Amino acid sequence: MFSPTDIANEALDAAGLEYTLGDLEDGNRYAQVCARRYRPCLAALLRSARWQFARKQQPLQFLGDTTGQYTSSTIVVPPWIYEYALPNDCVQAHYVPQQPGTQMAPIPQGNIAIPSTPLTSATYTNNWAGRRLVPTRFLITRDVNYPPQPGSEWWEVQGQSPMGQTVVLSNVPCATLVYTSLVLYPNEWDVSFREAMVAYLASEIVLPLTKDKKLGMALRRDQIAIVKERVNQARISDGNEYWSVNDHTPEWISFRNVGNGRGWFGGGSGYGDGGFLYQGYSSLALGDGTAY
């Protein structure tokens, strides 16, 4: 069984520092430096590639609904129909899948609607089994209309402040979100991520904790090289494994229309400035001032 303290001690070893932590919250100089950099390094590394162990799909919590069908609040950032709270363990949102058997927007009152009773005697169950996830447009933004409840510990929840919270806007009712989650327990990491995390943390703590700055810079360079190699392997693995069939529009084709106002994916389509459907990974900021 591994704990964050074990990862911090491995990072101290990789940084050439002859010290062993009893606990990450010991309070000494070594523990303080490791603790300050541990969580930011973990979040940044999770965003750097599509680490499959961190993939999560979860129903979203309603905040607002312009139709008034699902919640009492009809306050939603226009031109969207539904507004949801961002999951508190989300480090990067990828897409909101279209719900099977549902529509992108409720049927207007008085319009021709699909009969509520079946036309045949056959039974039908609406579920996800065997269905391919079809991404839809969504937008991550901030809304001041939904501040935390009075007395809540908002500082403990990602995306919340006394002035509002981070929300997910979508036209899908009862939506779910596919995202990279904040996996805090090293036991759930795969081997490549663990090695990358140790090297990344070592590259961030070596200069504050070493007396020989020239040696520290050399050690940091070596650890950054390890991080790049592990992240590159994860990105290649994702490209080889993520899609098992070729029945979708390739990302490099879809990306041409993002933000140029010409395509359905772009900002000028009349549906608002929604996010790219298959959002991938973010650049990883490194201690030497570069990004990968």
Over residues 72-82, the pLDDT tens digits come to 999 999 999 99
Tens digit of pLDDT for each residue in 39-54?
999 999 999 999 999 9
Q: Cα–Cα distance between 178 and 157 in angstroms, integer?
A: 19
Question: What pLDDT does 158 receive?
Answer: 79
Alpha carbons within 13 A on the beta-carbon side of 247? 6
- Reply yes or no on whether the pLDDT at 175 is more than 60: yes
Question: Span 284-290, mean pLDDT?
Answer: 89
Domain boundaries, the chain: 4-51+190-240, 55-109+127-181
Tokens encoding 50: 């599509």
Q: Cα–Cα distance between 241 and 238 in angstroms, integer?
A: 5
Average pLDDT, the chain: 80
Closest CA to 28 of 12, 41, 52: 12
* Helices 213-241 and 191-209: angle between axes, nearest 10 degrees: 160
Q: Cα–Cα distance between 125 and 75 in angstroms, integer?
A: 33
Tens digit of pLDDT for each residue in 238-275?
655 444 444 445 444 444 444 333 333 333 333 333 44
Question: What pLDDT does 150 receive?
Answer: 84
Q: Cα–Cα distance between 221 and 67 in angstroms, integer?
A: 55
- Of 106-115, 214-223, 269-278, the range with the lowest mean pLDDT is 269-278
Pairing of strands 160-161, 164-170: antiparallel
Is the separation of the CB atoms in 83 and 63 below 8 Å? yes
The reported pTM is 0.77
Question: Span 47-71, mean pLDDT?
Answer: 93
- Reply yes or no on whether the pLDDT at 105 is more than 60: no
